[in-house]
Structure 1
Amino acid sequence: MVRCWKHSENCLEEAQCTDGCPAASPQSRFPHKAFWVSLTASLLLVVIALGLTGHLGLSQPHSQSLQIVRITAPDQTGVLINQSAVVDQQNDLVTLSVTSLGNQTSTVLFDIKHRLICYKPVNQDGCFLQKMEQSDYDNVHPLLHESTHKQGQFQLSWNETQRQTEFLGVLAASQVDVSMLEEPLQALCQDRSVHWTRRVKGPGKQRLVYFCIDICFPSNICVSVCFYYLPE
């Protein structure tokens, strides 16, 4: 004789079982199985939803921080010159694409975080680095200001635009290892030699200007940056 237990509403009653305890019916096990299957499916859906939310949360801010701003300004002869600036607020980067009259585009990268400017002229084999000064930051700051560059386009007028010329001397003996630069500069100047430059008063009578890049900013300032090699 086997002793087994059966449940009542208020207490456990002991009963005599002559034929053994009866096995649980399939109907009594089915709700438990359905419960666990439903719980597993719900947890799986929650994990997938959290994964998608995290992926979108990581990808959207970077894509939304990239904005293209177009700048139109007259040159010295009054002909309109088109420029475009890619503004990356998240990484404090402004990349200017300057198109010349020959439809050739040079690139100027303002790396505000590391206080560097990198020039990539279209008609040269190298890139040229310059340490950013306060005047450079003041010129590029309107492009980083959210309420300003939301307009998406600036057209500078001839009579309100201030023009100035800056000379940068190329330090030929100070070539930079590209692999030691930050990632944005590496991507810009890959397969090119990179040289440091410094601001100087002028090339002097005995030296010719090597090349110039004209840059215009939303603050109605256009700067002609001219390079030449300093004596060894």
Structure 2
Amino acid sequence: MVRCWKRSEASLEDPQNMHCGPMSSSRVPHKVLWGCIAAMLLIVIIALGVTAHLGLQHKAQSSLQVVRFPDHTGDLISQSALIDKHNSVVTYSVTSHANHTSTVIFDMRHGLVCYKPDNQDSCFLRRMERLDYENVQSQLNKSEQQVRQVWVVGNQTEKHTEFLGVLSSSRVEASTLQEPLQSLCQQASVYWTRRSDGPGKQRLIYFCIDICFPSNICVSVCFYYLPE
């Protein structure tokens, strides 16, 4: 039985002052319905956001794997060497056939080699090895001045290819590097690399830098990103 009552005789014809028991309970399903709709919309929005984020992340990762740069087809490599005898540093500026100039620093004091491609906002590090020390020391010994710049033209008398895998998870803060590496990489992302036999068929070469030493030994250093 539905019970209705009125507050006063004056409000008899006012529908707002009329109260019935079952009406208040009929509002509950509507609240539940709207709550369910709001929750479903929230789930859909979150799912779309996660999907878009993963799509952008995948696109960014796939864009890292590009074809080899530069692709040298000629016999000559144009480069200059800045010899800093006082700090035991030799800086090579290597110009490709596409007129891109990459920088390679051999820091003998700290035992590091740093590669900075012209068209990349990244620097790549590796530890110097015995042959690196020998090549740098030969340059320093030939220099009678503390700082001088020489031009080196490679004729590919002896050339071989080296592969370096980029360790994306081993990122280095540029501020922790010593000069002159810090100045070279202050606006770039810095990564460690390690020597490898090759990228494998499933990996594309990221880029290559050809560099020649006074001993007429030319090295094509090719980088690729290691799978995480």
TM bin, normalised by shorter chain, reads: 0.5 to 0.7
Please tell me whether the aligned partners of residues 109 and 119 of structure 1 are also in contact (alpha carbons under 8 angstroms). Answer: yes
- CA distance, structure 2, for counterparts of residue 163 and residue 170 of structure 1: 22
Q: Which residue number in structure 2 is paired with residue 88 of structure 1?
A: 84
In the alignment, structure 1 residue 217 sits paired with structure 2 residue 197: no
- CA distance, structure 1, for counterparts of residue 158 and residue 201 of structure 2: 26
Residue correspondence of structure 1 range 63-102 to structure 2 within 5 A: 76-78=73-75, 80-102=76-98
SS in 1 for 2:135: helix
Worse-superposed segment, 163-172 or 141-150: 141-150
Alpha-carbon deviation of 1:76? 5.0
- CA distance, structure 1, for counterparts of residue 152 and residue 174 of structure 2: 34
Worse-superposed segment, 85-94 or 136-145: 136-145
Alpha-carbon deviation of 1:185? 0.8
Alpha-carbon deviation of 1:144? 1.2
Structure with higher RCO (Cα < 8 A, 6+ apart): 2
- CA distance, structure 2, for counterparts of residue 220 and residue 151 of structure 1: 18
Structure 1, unmatched stretches of 5+, are: 1-74
Q: Percent identity?
A: 62
Q: 1:200 aligns with which of 185, 188, 196?
A: 196
Structure 2, unmatched stretches of 5+, are: 1-71
Please tell me whether the aligned partners of residues 81 and 152 of structure 2 are also in contact (alpha carbons under 8 angstroms). Answer: no
Please tell me whether the aligned partners of residues 139 and 221 of structure 1 are also in contact (alpha carbons under 8 angstroms). Answer: no
Q: Which residue number in structure 2 is paired with residue 173 of structure 1?
A: 169
Query: Normalized against structure 1, the TM-score is what?
Result: 0.62
CA RMSD of aligned residues (A): 2.1
Counterpart residue identity of residue 107, structure 2: D
Please tell me whether the aligned partners of residues 142 and 148 of structure 1 are also in contact (alpha carbons under 8 angstroms). Answer: no
- CA distance, structure 1, for counterparts of residue 179 and residue 150 of structure 2: 26
Alpha-carbon deviation of 1:151? 10
Q: Deviation string for 1:61-85 (max 9, x for gaps)?
A: xxxxxxxxxxxxxx6533x332100
Alpha-carbon deviation of 1:148? 8.6
- CA distance, structure 2, for counterparts of residue 107 and residue 120 of structure 1: 5
Q: 1:143 aligns with which of 139, 144, 154?
A: 139
Alpha-carbon deviation of 1:184? 0.9
Instruction: State the number of aligned residues.
Output: 155
Please tell me whether the aligned partners of residues 77 and 212 of structure 2 are also in contact (alpha carbons under 8 angstroms). Answer: no
Q: Which residue number in structure 1 is paired with residue 110 of structure 2?
A: 114
- CA distance, structure 2, for counterparts of residue 118 and residue 86 of structure 1: 14
Counterpart residue identity of residue 144, structure 1: L
- CA distance, structure 1, for counterparts of residue 125 and residue 149 of structure 2: 30
Counterpart residue identity of residue 138, structure 1: E
CA gap 1:147/1:119 in 2 versus in 1, 3 angstroms: closer
Alpha-carbon deviation of 1:145? 1.3
Worse-superposed segment, 142-151 or 196-205: 142-151
CA gap 1:189/1:152 in 2 versus in 1, 3 angstroms: closer
CA gap 1:148/1:82 in 2 versus in 1, 3 angstroms: farther
Alpha-carbon deviation of 1:178? 0.9
Alpha-carbon deviation of 1:139? 2.7
Please tell me whether the aligned partners of residues 87 and 144 of structure 1 are also in contact (alpha carbons under 8 angstroms). Answer: yes
- CA distance, structure 2, for counterparts of residue 171 and residue 110 of structure 1: 20
Q: Which residue number in structure 1 is paired with residue 58 of structure 2?
A: none
CA gap 1:194/1:151 in 2 versus in 1, 3 angstroms: closer
SS in 2 for 1:77: coil
CA gap 1:189/1:101 in 2 versus in 1, 3 angstroms: same
- CA distance, structure 2, for counterparts of residue 210 and residue 204 of structure 1: 13
Q: Deviation string for 1:169-201 (max 9, x for gaps)?
A: 000001101111102111110111100001111
